[in-house]
Amino acid sequence: MKGSGHAVAMRSATAVVLAVGFVGCNGSPTAPSEMPSLTVDVHATDSGMRLGSVLVEDAADGARFTPNLSGLTAGEHGFHVHVNPDCGMAGQNAGGHYDPANTGRHEGPDGNGHLGDLPRLTVDGGGRATVPVVARRVRVSDVVGRSLMIHAGGDNYADAPALLGGGGARVACGVVPATAS
């Protein structure tokens, strides 16, 4: 009798903990759904056509960039945070890779160079990009008021043999809103 009563009490305590946990998921300001996020509309730099958007969110392991884009060429594309919130002049107005520490080096998302060096975007055979990438050194607060750039070619995360990962032309660009929600 004594033993079974103890077991009932344990189960009740577990139920209370679960109930509190459930309330916490809906009400806590630290719940993942309430972490900073923003949506960036992306346009082709030549035609100005809207290609879709990229959702940027703070995650436990960095900033997660979730693309919902179409009209790109299949394969891998260099993807970076550029300094200026301006996609004009075929993307040139966006300036260089965001580099708040003035490293002057393109080393990719796991290096110690430009903070704006994001993981490559992957585009499928239908021209769509939907696979999220996570940049572990970046937070949403680093991206606000800047721009996201997608290049024609890939990115070898180095300045050699070509500078800035060798991705070439700036084919798609999005101005990041000045505030996260």
Which residue ranges make up the site for Zn ion (CB under 5 A)? 97, 106, 114, 117
Please say which residue, 36 or 168, places its beta carbon nearer to Cu ion. 168
CA–chain centroid gap for 81, Å, is 9
Residues in region 141-170 near Cu ion by CB under 5 A: 149
- Find the shortest distance in angstroms from Cβ 21 to Cu ion: 42
How far apart are the C-alpha atoms of 17 and 157, rounded to whole Å?
47
Which residue of 77, 80, 114, 146 would you call a contact of Cu ion, by CB under 5 A? 80
Please say which residue, 52 or 78, places its beta carbon nearer to Cu ion. 78
**Which partner from the list Zn ion, Cu ion, none does 146 bind, CB cut-off 5 to 8 Å by kind?**
none
**Opening angle at CA 156, ends 150 and 157, nearest 5:** 85
Please say which residue, 106 or 139, places its beta carbon nearer to Zn ion. 106
**Opening angle at CA 49, ends 47 and 50, nearest 5:** 150
- Find the shortest distance in angstroms from Cβ 82 to Cu ion: 6
Residues 55 and 65 sit within 8 Å (Cβ to Cβ):
yes
User: CA 55, 58, 61, 65: dihedral to nearest 10 degrees?
Assistant: 10
Residues 180 and 102 sit within 8 Å (Cβ to Cβ):
no
**Which partner from the list Zn ion, Cu ion, none does 149 bind, CB cut-off 5 to 8 Å by kind?**
Cu ion
Helix (H, G, I), strand (E, B) or coil at 24: helix
Q: Is 81 in the site for Cu ion (CB under 5 A)?
A: no
CA–chain centroid gap for 71, Å, is 20
- Find the shortest distance in angstroms from Cβ 141 to Zn ion: 19
Residues 135 and 118 sit within 8 Å (Cβ to Cβ):
yes
- Find the shortest distance in angstroms from Cβ 80 to Zn ion: 6
Please say which residue, 114 or 120, places its beta carbon nearer to Zn ion. 114
Please say which residue, 82 or 128, places its beta carbon nearer to Cu ion. 82
Q: Which residues bind Cu ion (CB under 5 A)?
A: 80, 149
